[in-house]
Structure 1
Amino acid sequence: MRDLGAGFGHLLKGQRWVARHGKSYGFGLLPGLITLVLYAAALIGLALWGTDFVAWATPFADDWSSPWPGLFRGFLTAVMFALALLLAVLTFTAVTLLVGQPFYESLSERVDRDVSPDGTAPESNLPLWRELWISGRDSLRVLARAAVWGVLLFALGFIPVVGQTVVPVVGFFVTGFFLTEELASVALQRRGVELRDRLALLRSRKMLVWGFGTPLGVSFLVPFVAVFLMPGAVAGATLLARELLGEETRDGADDRSDGGCADPAVSPGPAPAR
């Protein structure tokens, strides 16, 4: 239970960090807004033409007596839309991180410098194209794992009582785990931690991971909330990654606002040598 509270604490600390650094927060909203527009267009299209698609995919139901075709197709349409929403929650973070990779990496580095006792941050020293490739590749591998869980939970959802009570709760914890992996990957990938090792690291502290990711996943179900929480979620995941790796973190991160100092995350100056 202590780890649950610690994980949630990292989430809150991340939000407080970006609240104190207005420029970082403002630029951090842009990738989420771009991704939100794309996802909203896809979901609106599904809502408008989903019924027609289900009818096209189930011609065998045309010969059924009324009202079974309508009930059956209505159920499939609802399930398809619910799965699309779940997939949107699971993939929103990955797509947003990919779109905003350069910024979020800089934001994560700044958090590291703020809380590190010696004021330094690990650097990947990889070219940007290589970081984007690794991030995209790993996101697809994580999505494949999440999809397996999604299919399993969907099947278990048909079990009476359990499917309507236990399965949704398990679904939130699964979502929280994979959300945390995607967010923490910004800091862990910069430290050279491969996907398999990242997953093993997260599994070793499941309560900590669930404390961070599960409430975040629940909040992401509320429209537009994910956009506004993403910058703070990346900052909080950086703090969580430091705890997972046992790195020393000084108390009291930089409390200065952006108005008083330049923000390396958005500075037009030269990027660190790679």
Structure 2
Amino acid sequence: MRDLGVGFGYLMKGQRWVAQHGKQYGMGLLPGLITLVLYAAALVALALWGADLVGWATPFADDWSSPWLGLFRGFLTALLFALALLLSVLTFTAMTLLIGQPFYESLSEKVDIAESGHAPESGLPLWRDLWISARDSLRIVVRAALWGVLLFALGFIPVIGQTVIPVIGFCVTGFFLVEELTAVALQRRGVELRDRLALLRSRKQLAWGFGTPLAVAFLVPFVAVFLMPGAVAGATLMARDLLGENDGAGAGEGAPAHGGDADGQGAGFPGQGGAFGTGRPA
């Protein structure tokens, strides 16, 4: 249970960090604002033309008598909008991080420098980092969407669907939010997606303590925009904890962040006993 409090503490530390660094906070707001405008436009369009879309997709119901036609298509329209809203919450972080990759990379590096005096670098060109980030984000979004559809369906179970399932939903959403946010720092260290997920699964309560309250806050879009810079900063601190860098288990002074050969192949995570490699695909 201790890790729940530690995870929430990293979320708060990240918000305090950006509050003390106004320039980084201001730059970190831009990607969230852009994403919010795009998502809001898509949801407004769906609200205006969702009923027409449902009518086009269900021509077999054209001859149904009233009130069944209205009830059926009304239910499908509401279901479509609810799913779109759920997916917007699940994908908001991934899209914001993708749009704001250069901004958040810079923010994460500054947090690393403030903590240890140096920031690990991937050594890859920007286009390659963007490709890896987009590819991994898509994989996470697909996983999150599958969970979202499953939990949405389970929500129709009486009592359990209105009590237990929402709690599980926030925990699942929080876990995937943490993966996306810590990826900013971990990707610079060459940590692959499967290894990032393994790290987080080994400290689930830490991830839930950070991500679950953030998932609740992200239900309000404007709140998500203003919390994103601090969430990236806090996730960088949390990534350092996951890799054992905060307790002195990291590299020595003047040394690279990880051991291994010059191109990073075969390097192990500090504090993880080399359980995961940090090599990148060619």
Shared fold (TM-score, shorter chain, > 0.5): yes
Gaps of 5+ in 1: 251-274
The one-letter code matched in structure 2 to 1:79 is L
The one-letter code matched in structure 2 to 1:205 is R
- Mapped to 1, the partners of 2:91 and 2:144 lie a distance apart of 9
Contact 2:36/2:221 (8 A) holds in 1: no
**2:49 is aligned with 1:69:** no
- Mapped to 1, the partners of 2:63 and 2:199 lie a distance apart of 53
**2:223 is aligned with 1:217:** no
Higher mean C-alpha displacement, 192-201 vs 62-71: 62-71
- Mapped to 2, the partners of 1:229 and 1:248 lie a distance apart of 23
Counterpart of 1:92 in structure 2 is 92
Counterpart of 1:235 in structure 2 is 233
- Mapped to 2, the partners of 1:111 and 1:138 lie a distance apart of 23
**How far did residue 103 of structure 1 move?**
1.4
Alignment of 1:35-54 (within 5 A): 35-54=35-54
Distance 1:48-1:249 versus aligned 2 partners, 3 A rule? farther
- 1:34-92 alpha-carbon deviations (Å, 9 max, x no partner): 11111111000001011111122122223333222212222211121111111111111
Counterpart of 1:200 in structure 2 is 198
- Mapped to 2, the partners of 1:73 and 1:167 lie a distance apart of 26
Q: CA RMSD for the aligned pairs?
A: 1.3
Gaps of 5+ in 2: 249-282
- Mapped to 1, the partners of 2:164 and 2:193 lie a distance apart of 29
Secondary structure of residue in 2 paired with 1:63 = coil
Moved over 6 A (4+): none
TM-score normalised according to structure 1 size: 0.87
The one-letter code matched in structure 1 to 2:15 is Q
Contact 1:14/1:233 (8 A) holds in 2: yes
Q: Which has the higher contact order (CA 8 A, sep 6+)?
A: 1
- 1:157-212 alpha-carbon deviations (Å, 9 max, x no partner): 22222222222221111110111100000000011100000001111111110110
TM-score normalised according to structure 2 size: 0.85
- Mapped to 2, the partners of 1:248 and 1:146 lie a distance apart of 30
The one-letter code matched in structure 1 to 2:229 is P
Contact 2:90/2:145 (8 A) holds in 1: no
- Mapped to 2, the partners of 1:219 and 1:95 lie a distance apart of 17
The one-letter code matched in structure 1 to 2:150 is L
- Mapped to 2, the partners of 1:27 and 1:45 lie a distance apart of 29
